Amino acid sequence: MQAGEAVLRQAANPVVVSDIRSRDTQDLIEWMRETMYDAPGVGLAAPQVGLPLQLAVIEDKAEYIKDNPDAAKERERKPVPFHVIINPKIAIDESTKIEFFEGCLSFAGFTAVVPRARKVRVECLDHKGEQRIIDASGWYARILQHEIDHLHGRLYLDRMYPRTLMSMENFNRFWKDKSIPEVRKLISWER
């Protein structure tokens, strides 16, 4: 689904716990996993595939990180194994905000700087319907916030600094090797 689809702007419905282990839900998880890999992406929420369910898949593979170790360090980005979050509740540590470029499979071809909390705690169910608590920081915290936003009908467009919105082509040509402080000097996004 791309921006403009109603399902991306509506709050998703909780998944019934008794349905989590069903063949339909397990098939959905596997299909979403394959879709995320094909994109490629690091997360995919059910509304992005047209289903208004509070379910997302997440994985940040080492191969996505290895080509730019400086950027990975700046973003506090480390590999995150594949997992599923269902009916998540997020607690955001507002004391530290960090800003980085963010993209979305549902707004393909674009990126912008988005402020996010550096640390979060997520309480959710996993793919087996078991309770899970995730304490995350850095890039992993950003992924969780991004995917959980999808479950509440929000896109990164709602949080971005509008002056930083650009095509991925121009990001790759001019900006991808610049640090956020360098970008801030060249594009003033203070309001």
Number of continuous H segments (helices) and E segments (strands) in the chain? 6, 6
* Catalytic-role residue among 147, 169, 182, 190: 147
- CA gap 103, 155 in Å, rounded: 10
The verdict on residue 22 lying in a domain is yes
The verdict on residue 43 lying in a domain is yes
Burial of 98-117, coded b for 16+ CB within 10 Å and e otherwise, reads bbbbbbbbbbeebbbbbebb
Number of structural domains in the chain: 1
The verdict on residue 149 lying in a domain is yes
Tell me the pLDDT tens digit for each residue of 142-184: 999 999 999 999 999 999 999 999 999 999 999 998 999 999 9
Of 89, 150, 77, the C-alpha closest to 120 is 89
Tell me the pLDDT tens digit for each residue of 100-147: 999 999 999 999 999 999 999 999 999 999 999 999 999 999 999 999
147 is catalytic: yes
The verdict on residue 28 lying in a domain is yes
The helix/strand/coil state of 77 is coil
The helix/strand/coil state of 136 is strand
What percentage of the chain carries pLDDT values higher than 70? 99
The verdict on residue 191 lying in a domain is no
The verdict on residue 1 lying in a domain is no
Q: Does 191 have pLDDT greater than 60? A: no
CATH code, domain with 161: 3.90.45.10
Residue 12 pLDDT grade (very low, low, confident, very high; cuts 50, 70, 90): very high
Full residue range of the structural domain in which residue 56 is found: 6-186
The verdict on residue 176 lying in a domain is yes
